[in-house]
Each structure stands twice: as structure tokens, then as C-alpha cells.
């Protein structure tokens, strides 16, 4: 016997979906310099967006464990924002390394 899947009955939280897609688009642009179109973003579910990012096994398993698309959207939003912050940190560290630790003005 299979468990009944309630996903078909769940209404997607438009705000959660919008925030997830916005965070994903920002991450993709920062990591690849590619700007995603609204049409490209509209085609992606939480799983679709997460499939393109290497979060590690624990995060991906946590996503798989969630039965609600709204819960998945909230989780991937947090993961995308954290990944964007890590990229910001890496970029600042690389800039500092190139400047040999010196701050340049002007």
C-alpha cells in the first residue's frame, strides 16, 4: 500500500515561490554571470532549482524528506542565500589576496 501524496492538493505559497526563485536567480548570476529569464525560473520547482546546486548530501536529503513544496521552497531559499553569502566571502578573500592584504582607495 502506498501513502497518499497530498502535493496535488497543496496550494503553492506564491511568496515562498517568488523568494526562492529570486534567491536562486541571484545565486546563479553571481556564480555564473548568467541572468535567468522569468520563463526559465517559472519552469523550476524547488527540486529543479536544488538539482543544479551542490549543497552536500545532508541538505539534499533534508529536501527529499520534506513532503510539502512550500516547505521545500522555504528550505531552498535559505540554502541559496547561504550559498550566495559564501560566494561573497570567497570573492572578498580573493580580492584581498590579490591586493596582498593591502586596502586600496580610489
| Contact between residue 82 and residue 28 where contact means Cβ atoms under 8 Å apart | no
Which of 17, 6, 32, 34 lies closest to 77, judged by CA?
17
Q: Could you tell me the pTM of the whole model?
A: 0.79
Instruction: Give the number of domains in the chain.
Output: 1
What are the C-alpha distances in Å from 103 to residues 40, 78, 100?
Answer: 40, 32, 9
Give tens-digit pLDDT for 8-40.
578 999 999 999 999 999 999 999 999 999 999
In a domain, 50, yes or no: yes
Domain that holds residue 24: 13-98
In a domain, 2, yes or no: no
The pLDDT score that the predictor gives to residue 104 is 62
Amino acid at each position: 500500500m502506498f501513502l497518499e501524496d497530498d502535493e496535488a492538493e497543496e496550494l503553492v505559497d506564491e511568496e515562498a515561490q517568488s523568494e526562492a526563485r529570486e534567491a536562486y536567480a541571484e545565486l546563479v548570476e553571481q556564480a555564473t554571470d548568467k541572468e535567468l529569464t522569468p520563463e526559465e525560473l517559472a519552469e523550476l520547482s524547488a527540486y529543479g532549482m536544488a538539482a543544479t546546486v551542490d549543497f552536500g548530501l545532508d541538505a539534499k536529503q533534508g529536501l527529499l524528506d520534506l513532503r510539502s513544496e512550500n516547505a521545500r521552497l522555504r528550505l531552498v531559499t535559505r540554502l541559496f542565500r547561504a550559498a550566495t553569502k559564501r560566494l561573497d566571502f570567497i570573492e572578498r578573500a580573493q580580492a584581498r589576496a590579490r591586493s596582498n592584504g593591502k586596502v586600496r582607495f580610489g
